[in-house]
Amino acid sequence: MSRIFLGRGLESEANIYLDASKSRAVLICGKRGSGKSYTMGVSIEELHRSADVTILVVDPMGIFHTMSLPNSEQESIVWDWGDSPRALPVKVIVPGDPVERYGGSDIVQEMERRGVEFRALAVNPSDVSPESWCDSFGTSINEPMGIALMKAIRRCRQKYGKEGYFISEIASEVLVDPRANDRTIDALVNRLEMANQWGIFASDRYRELSEVLDPNSVNVLDLSVIDSGRYGRRGLILSVLCRDLFRKRSVARRREELGLAPSKRKFWLLIDEAHQFAPVGRSALGKEDLIRWVKEGRQPGLSLVVASQQPSAIDGEILSQCDAILSHALTTSDDKTALNRLTKDYMKNEIKAYINQLARTGQAVFVDDDAENIEVIQIRPRTSKPGGSEA
């Protein structure tokens, strides 16, 4: 059975595990600096060690590449826990050209020297739905610009097939739209040209997105190099990836069930600072895809881990799907209340009461709906180097 070793119970002194042999949805929360990213790193190490799964980490802060180094700084605590510091194989997936994104070839070379391997990600314009284009351009499919875009994409599909067109083909179709007025055409073509300059789109051939993922490495999608800006580019990338992986995994699952193929690897998606992608009370690119991932992804074998300093800022549909929670210290009452809503019958007290017991960094309340257990635990030390300590 594949299981994730998380740490030790403060009261029970027992080793605490999360069963990872089936699909899970896990929430990691806690105030700034309480150890969320560290704990996410522990989960990644364990998934890599013990579970036969493909791992994708969505990293808006650009901190997970340090997993390619051993955790030498905390060597003695790691030994206390009967383990030793260890480097992991890390692939850093960068939307666009790594040298350009990081701002210098010396940076890329130094990261490579530390064991990181880079993979460039190019989003296929034909994988972007008309709705997502509209969201990226701040319009909707009911407005003239959205309508013209939708028609242009439909014509591209007819002419070039699902995988054979790029932004310039879409723009060409917009230019010859007989029903759209000049202002609409100008505005839309402008936006398409701008999108081309984001440097994240494929412009010559269709690339399978899943090709960039290495099943034997920790795949880190570094979104820190992309503006979180108003166009929601980070969300767009996540959305396209989620949909592609969901589709692939569903097809693979169908084959497995019909005995047409041996079972393939399951998939774990881990998202740090997840409130960016699934904010409460407003739409965001990628949000619907994440909701679908947790709601419908279990059966085909998709798991999700989200970390956020503000559980109250994460969409309720995602929170309510979480079957395990690791909560570090929380301070605001909104956040404690959001978490408390997830209290279940089997708990003797409300989650809040456990959170108030947390005394130091690295401690967390672990709620496991699957095992119907709640307990305060000490998270085990990282064997690979944790990133993101403040300068």
**For ligand ADP, the closer CB: 48 or 249:** 48
| Owner of token pair 């407003």 | 282
Phi, psi of 70 (to 5 degrees): -75, 155
* CA–CA dist 111, 114 (Å, integer): 5
At 247, list the tokens. 């589709």
CB atoms under 10 Å from CB of 181, counted, come to 10
Binding of residue 30 to ligand ADP (CB under 6 A) = yes
Pair 59, 201: CB distance under 8 Å:
no
Among the listed ranges 25-33, 87-95, 103-111, 188-196, the one in contact with ligand ADP (CB under 6 A) is 25-33
For ligand ADP, which is the closer residue by CB, 357 or 389?
A: 389
Shortest distance, CB of residue 329 to Mg ion, whole angstroms? 13
Q: What span, in angstroms and rounded, lies between the C-alpha atoms of 274 and 390? A: 20
To Mg ion, the closest distance from the beta carbon of 304 in angstroms equals 17
Q: What's the order of all strands across the beta sheet hosting 302-308?
A: 15-19, 3-9, 373-379, 363-368, 324-327, 25-29, 302-308, 266-271, 53-59, 218-222, 90-95, 116-121
CB burial string 150-172: b at 16+ within 10 A, e below: bbbbebbeeeeeeeebbbebbbb
Q: Which entry of ligand ADP, Mg ion, none binds 125, CB below 5 to 8 A by partner kind?
A: none
Closest to ligand ADP by CB, 212 or 379:
379
Query: Under the criterion CB under 6 A, does residue 60 sit at the interface with ligand ADP?
Result: no
**Residue 113 makes contact with ligand ADP by CB under 6 A:** no
Query: Pairing mode, if any, of strands 116-121 and 15-19?
Result: unpaired
Identify whether the C-beta of residue 220 lies closer than 8 Å to the C-beta of residue 212.
Answer: no
> Shortest approach of ligand ADP to residue 16 CB, angstroms?
13
Stretch that binds Mg ion, among 37-45, 109-117, 204-212, 336-344 (CB under 5 A): 37-45
Q: Residue with CB nearest Mg ion?
A: 37
379 binds ligand ADP (CB under 6 A): yes
* Residue 37 in contact with Mg ion, rule: CB under 5 A: yes
Instruction: Return the residues of window 129-188 that contact ligand ADP according to CB under 6 A.
Output: none
Measured distance between the N- and C-terminal CA atoms of the chain, rounded to whole angstroms: 40
Q: Which is nearer to ligand ADP, 134 or 307 (CB)?
A: 307
The whole-angstrom separation of Cα 321 and Cα 305 is: 11
Binder of residue 32, out of ligand ADP, Mg ion, none (CB less than 5 to 8 A by kind): ligand ADP
- How is 344-356 classified by DSSP, letter by letter? -TT-SS-HHHHHT
Q: Which stretch binds ligand ADP (CB under 6 A): 181-189, 280-288, 344-352, 381-389?
A: 381-389
The closest alpha carbon to 235, from 58, 108, 374, 27, belongs to 58
Q: How far is the CB of 311 from ligand ADP (least distance, A)?
A: 12
Query: Residue 85 or 146: which CB sits closer to ligand ADP?
Result: 85
Per DSSP, what are the bridge partners of residue 113? none
Cβ 390 to ligand ADP, closest distance in Å? 8
**Interacting stretch for ligand ADP, rule CB under 6 A, among 29-37, 135-143, 182-190, 289-297?**
29-37
Q: Write down the least CB distance from residue 388 to ligand ADP, Å.
A: 5
Give the integer Cα–Cα distance in Å for 195 and 137: 9
- Are 121 and 209 in contact by the 8 Å Cβ rule? The answer is yes
Q: Does 5 bind ligand ADP (CB under 6 A)?
A: no
Q: Which listed range, 85-93, 183-191, 329-337, 379-387, lies at the site for ligand ADP (CB under 6 A)?
A: 379-387
What element of type H or E holds 373?
Answer: strand 373-379
Determine if 34 is a binding residue for ligand ADP (CB under 6 A).
Answer: yes
Site for ligand ADP in 317-376 (CB under 6 A): 361-362
HSE-up of residue 315 (Cα within 13 Å, Cβ side): 21
Q: Which residues contribute to the site for ligand ADP (CB under 6 A)?
A: 30, 32-38, 361-362, 379, 381, 386, 388-389
